Amino acid sequence: MTRTFLAPGRVNLIGEHTDYSGGLVLPAAIELGIRLEGEAAGRIVLRSDAGPPIDLAADGSEPGEGWGRYVAAVAGELAALGRPPVGLSGTVTSDLPQGAGLSSSAALEVVAGLALCAVAGFPVEPMALAQAGQRAELRAVGVPCGIMDQAISVLGVAGHAVLLDTATLHHEPVPLPEGHVLLVVDSGVSHALEGGEYARRRAELERATGGADVGDLSVEDAERLIAEHGADDVAARRLRHVVSENARVRRVVEALRSSPPDLAAVGRLFREGHDSLRDLFEISTPELDSLVDLAYAHGAVAARMTGGGFGGSIVALVADDRADEIAAAIRAAYRERTDVDPRAFTTHAAQGAREL
């Protein structure tokens, strides 16, 4: 019997590069994602328009190539948890753009894990599935990512962002304002984390923290830690971003939960967060900076780069009755500056991974 599974991509509203140091994040699942249709088989045999078909051992013991690396790594992680070696035959399709910083790799890991567990009759808790996907990312391509991307693909709540404490894994939904949508604009600069910059930023941060979780640090605590570790200027900047970003997450959540939502505060905090990623964490690009400026100039409530950086997309909060107008204005102005016609789409916060 053919079964169908879906895992969404995500945008991170605020809390960037905090999830591997025990910090706070506020992502939302989106309406685009990766779908897998398949049935139990002896091996993992999947077709996709994203690349050549894959044919792998059901327990992930054979390394894959291309997109198959992620599937093989997920199968391997699930085998370590005790999943029986039941294969999967089917098709993978996606309307989630690759390289746009919307967590297409995490969505693939989650949908593959969900399907493999289902056909094997192997129940797994949602966060355990997310953690298996996180480990698979490291196994597949050597990216020491945090838990955020896989977690929001599993935990997404329609109409809500999800506040996640990455130290404790406590999570709770945060309502997004009615009458508004999320506008995502792709800079056209392909986002890829395999080149080493992501790992380098994590190592730089750990020079200041000693590898300790810093989610509860105040600004004063951070400065004391910098002095205690004799952190160099680069490491100090990385820690200052993370500590200030955790504070911004808390303030954005307060603003969204106030009645009515304090959208002016959200706009200021998104701007501060983007500037910190540009100046302290140094992961933005001129194209992302330009898109954020254009979003505010043309009427967005809030805007910032989203995702791991070094390319990818921005996310903006816009009034739904002006979304098309704002998107068109941003695209036109960006074309004039760069000769690139950026992809743009609106989305609501969506439900997490599930069998359809």
Q: CATH no. for residue 26? A: 3.30.230.10
Least confident of 94-98, 250-254, 299-303: 94-98
State residue 192's pLDDT score: 61
Q: Look at residue 347 and give its three-state secondary structure.
A: strand
d(CA 158, CA 350): 4
CB 199 within 8 A of CB 144: yes
State residue 237's pLDDT score: 96
Q: For residue range 40-71, list pLDDT tens digits in order.
A: 999 999 999 888 999 999 999 998 999 999 99
- Return the closest-CA partner of residue 166 out of 191, 196, 145, 137: 145
* The total number of structural domains that make up the chain: 2
In-domain check, residue 94: yes
Q: What is the mean pLDDT of residues 107-128?
A: 98
Q: What is the mean pLDDT of residues 90-97?
A: 94
Q: For residue range 284-298, list pLDDT tens digits in order.
A: 999 999 999 999 999
The domain boundary, picked from 152, 171, 190, lies at 171
DSSP β-bridge partners for residue 54: 46
Residue 74 belongs to domain spanning: 3-171
CB 188 within 8 A of CB 195: no
More confident site: 142 or 270: 270
* pLDDT at residue 196 greater than cutoff 90: no
Strand-strand pairing, 44-48 and 51-56: antiparallel
Least confident of 7-11, 132-136, 137-141, 328-332: 137-141
The residue from 19, 59, 149, 165 that is catalytic is 149
* pLDDT at residue 195 greater than cutoff 60: no
* Together in a domain, 208 and 332: yes
State residue 211's pLDDT score: 81
Instruction: Report which secondary-structure segment, H or E, holds 13.
Output: strand 3-14
Q: CATH no. for residue 338? A: 3.30.70.890
Q: State the burial class of residue 84 (Cβ atoms within 10 Å of its Cβ: 0-12, 13-18, 19+).
A: middle
More confident site: 199 or 184: 184
Other C-beta atoms lying within 10 Å of the C-beta of residue 341: 11
* Together in a domain, 161 and 190: no
- Return the closest-CA partner of residue 349 out of 161, 138, 81, 103: 161
More confident site: 44 or 98: 44
Q: For residue range 273-286, list pLDDT tens digits in order.
A: 999 999 999 999 99
* % residues pLDDT > 70 (the chain): 99
DSSP β-bridge partners for residue 40: 88
State residue 283's pLDDT score: 94
Instruction: Report which secondary-structure segment, H or E, holds 282.
Output: none
State residue 50's pLDDT score: 80
Measured at the alpha carbon of residue 146, what is the angle toward residues 144 and 150, in degrees to the nearest 5?
110
Q: For this structure, is 149 an active site residue?
A: yes
Q: For residue range 296-306, list pLDDT tens digits in order.
A: 999 999 999 99
The domain boundary, picked from 126, 141, 171, lies at 171
* pLDDT at residue 99 greater than cutoff 80: no
The domain boundary, picked from 171, 197, 217, lies at 171
Q: State the burial class of residue 338 (Cβ atoms within 10 Å of its Cβ: 0-12, 13-18, 19+).
A: middle
Flag whether the pTM goes above 0.85.
yes
In-domain check, residue 255: yes
In-domain check, residue 339: yes
In-domain check, residue 356: no
